[in-house]
Amino acid sequence: MRSPEVEHTVTSVRVQIEAPAAFVWDVLVDYARYPEWNPFTIEVRTTLEIGSSIELTLPSYDGTGVMLVSQERVREVEPPHHLRYDNRDEVPGVLGVRDQWIASLGPGRCSYVTTNTLSGEHAALVIGLTGEWIKSGLDSVARALKVRAEELSA
């Protein structure tokens, strides 16, 4: 009998941003400008159509300076609140699901948080090797998005 699948979720810091949710969404999906502000996701290529590919370029978790390219699929796009993509069928034994959430906190304010949930046969091993790197990267994106959105909305 197969054991139930265990999920491992890494959650970023939740940041409050002094800008409207729709504005922050526009900053989040302006992938051409990621090299200007995003320290973790250096480049993104996608049309954001459901089921389409999303290619993410990230610095390697081992600190060598090598860039990793992750091929994923867009699963949910709900402007200005939710974006989801995953690596289904790309990495045997590991399903990675990335969610990014923007919540309105009233006029001109919102919050942002992002998660990366790993499941599958090798998820525990991957979390053991890269969990701290994922957490640091997600936190850096949240903080950098806050700075970028607030600078642009000022």
Q: Give me the residue spans of the domains in the chain.
A: 8-29+76-153
pLDDT of residue 2: 47
Is the domain 8-29+76-153 a CATH 3.40.50.720 member?
A: no
Reduced to 3 states (helix: H, G, I; strand: E, B; else coil), residue 148 is helix
pLDDT of residue 3: 47
Residue with tokens 């290619």: 55
pLDDT of residue 4: 54
Please tell me the pTM assigned to this model: 0.93
Low-confidence spans in the chain with pLDDT less than 70: 1-5
β pairing state of 43-46 and 53-59: antiparallel
